Amino acid sequence: MSWDFETDPEFQTQLDWVERFVDEEVEPLEHVLGSPWDIHDPRFTTLVRPLQAQVKERKLWACHLAPHQGGQGYGQMKLALLNEILGKAHFAPIVFGCQAPDTGNSEILSHYGSEAQKKKYLEPLLANQIVSCFAMTEPQGGADPKVFKTRAVQQGGDWVITGEKWFASNARYAEFFIVMVVTDPDAPPYQQMSMFIVPKDAPGLSIMRNVGLADEPVPTHGYLKFDGVRVPAADMLGQPGEAFAVAQTRLGGGRIHHAMRTIGQAKKAFDQLCERALSRTTQGELLADKQMVQEKIADSWCQLEQFRLLVLRTAWRIDKHKDYLKVRKDISAVKALMPKVLHDIAERALHIHGSLGASLEMPYTDQLVLSYHMGLADGPTEVHKVTVAKQVLRDYVACPDLFPAYHRPRAKAAAEAKYRHLLG
């Protein structure tokens, strides 16, 4: 039996370079640029493209992809160690070619796309020549796909889509949308929907408005309307009724990658909390010398380290089993913990910074809102806790007796019977 918590020295050298690069070259971008997905902004070309070239030269571009797709084929353990650094900076994922929702959409296209679709959409997406959108949730039931209303009706060789989608990630800048719609309302609930590729300029597709989050410089989550949008049957991804299976291709990996990057955000807030505690004096002593501040630091460190270890173990298990379903409990656990870890550490950092921490001159209010968003995106926290509980309970059986086997009187009687011949 062997346990190892050390990183391979050669890969650690890469990680050391990434950390310096992100700190010195990537983090400053968010203070002079708008959205990381606005790739046609001339300033993006000037500032970001040279950094992407350096990443490619170091062979760190799109490391989640297989070598034949232009990546390094890293397993989840290596990706975890890399992503927790990238999580510190808003522009880091796109500089390293691993930004959501494009990563998940590229996985879908890799698994289900035709050769023509891969040529038209996947290749430029992997090269970051374009960006994409994933449109799944709807205004009346974001957390429950079984109440989706957006329909596609077959007409000849096409499908015609009518309905609305809500909070469609990255809609503002996307060249194409991957859309989940009802194609057979009479089928069993998880076989009613199909997935389609819809180009941004499809007649009948419009963005009614863009919805923003507190941590976004530009609103990018679209409220979409599909008014008789005609899509060729060849642009269905997978078979009719397979939308849930297609979606799971992106969701399992996406959830663990969000958790990895959350470590970076939480660590950033924790580092600032500690520096502030050592820098600020009140009532004649440093904040760091006050026991209630020490408690905040200790709680934050313990919380962050526990979460990081669970994320790393989950990544290791994904690499071991090569099957997200076998690690479903672990993925749901990190997804359920993720919002609280970021919320708690950001809240403590905000508090220790006083009025400065509550102001827009510091990132903590953004991080708090982001933590709430994390508790909703890719399934609400409650759903993931239910999944964890159900998966855990599969390893247990009910006791048919009135009193359980571990009931003390029963255990005592069993122990006395076991040792009677020795004790007399």
**DSSP state letter for 232:** E
Q: What is the pLDDT of residue 2?
A: 67
Q: Which of 178, 206, 241 marks a domain boundary? A: 241
Q: Which of 99, 123, 142 marks a domain boundary? A: 99
Q: Are residues 62 and 145 in the same domain?
A: no
Residue with structure tokens 């269905």? Answer: 236
Q: Determine the distance from the C-alpha atom of residue 190 to the mean position of all C-alpha atoms in its chain, rounded to a whole number.
A: 23
Q: What is the pLDDT of residue 256?
A: 85
Q: Are residues 90 and 192 in the same domain?
A: no
CA 36 to each of CA 105, 160, 166: distance values in angstroms, whole numbers, following the listed order: 17, 32, 21
Q: What is the pLDDT of residue 248?
A: 79
Q: Are residues 41 and 174 in the same domain?
A: no
Q: Are residues 236 and 283 in the same domain?
A: no
Per the domain annotation, does 1 fall within a domain? no
Q: Are residues 288 and 360 in the same domain?
A: yes
Taking the CA atoms of the chain, what radius of gyration do you get in angstroms? 25
Count up the domains in the chain and report the number: 3
Token pair listed for 264:
């970076």
**290-324 burial, b for 16+ CB within 10 Å, e for fewer?**
eeebeebbeebeebbeebbebbbebbbbbbeeeeb
Rounded to whole angstroms, how far apart are CA atoms 275 and 272? Answer: 5
Q: What is the pLDDT of residue 251?
A: 66
**DSSP state letter for 139:** T
Q: Are residues 84 and 157 in the same domain?
A: no
Q: What is the pLDDT of residue 88?
A: 94
Q: Are residues 259 and 189 in the same domain?
A: no
Q: Are residues 54 and 158 in the same domain?
A: no
Average confidence (pLDDT) per 10 residues, the chain, 424 residues: 82 96 97 96 97 96 85 90 95 95 91 93 95 94 84 95 95 97 94 97 97 86 97 95 86 80 96 98 96 98 97 94 90 95 98 96 95 90 95 95 93 92 83
Per the domain annotation, does 124 fall within a domain? no
pLDDT digits (tens, 9 = 90+) for 350-394: 999 999 999 999 999 999 999 999 998 888 999 999 999 999 999
Rounded to whole angstroms, how far apart are CA atoms 297 and 312? Answer: 22
Per the domain annotation, does 417 fall within a domain? no
Rounded to whole angstroms, how far apart are CA atoms 84 and 107? Answer: 21
Neighbours of 205 (CB within 10 A): 22
Neighbours of 262 (CB within 10 A): 28
Q: Write down the pTM of the prediction.
A: 0.92
H helix runs in 33-118, sequence order: 42-47, 49-57, 76-86, 92-95, 102-112, 115-117
Rounded to whole angstroms, how far apart are CA atoms 352 and 332? Answer: 31
**377-401 burial, b for 16+ CB within 10 Å, e for fewer?**
bbbbbeebeebbeeeeeeeeeeeee
Per the domain annotation, does 420 fall within a domain? no
Please give the residue range of the domain that contains residue 146: 132-241
Say which amino acid occupies 96: F
What CATH number should be reported for the domain holding residue 322?
1.20.140.10
Rounded to whole angstroms, how far apart are CA atoms 245 and 263? Answer: 29
Q: What is the pLDDT of residue 141?
A: 78
Q: What is the pLDDT of residue 1?
A: 63
Q: Are residues 268 and 197 in the same domain?
A: no
Q: Give, rounded to a whole angstrom, the gap between the first and last alpha carbons of the chain.
A: 41
What CATH number should be reported for the domain holding residue 232?
2.40.110.10
**DSSP state letter for 169:** B
Q: Determine the distance from the C-alpha atom of residue 186 to the mean position of all C-alpha atoms in its chain, rounded to a whole number.
A: 32
Q: Are residues 186 and 270 in the same domain?
A: no
Q: Are residues 23 and 38 in the same domain?
A: yes
Residue with structure tokens 């679709």? Answer: 117
Q: What is the pLDDT of residue 202?
A: 97
pLDDT digits (tens, 9 = 90+) for 186-206: 999 889 999 999 999 999 999
Per the domain annotation, does 410 fall within a domain? no
Q: Which of 74, 99, 124 marks a domain boundary? A: 99
Q: What is the pLDDT of residue 252?
A: 63
Q: Are residues 232 and 250 in the same domain?
A: no
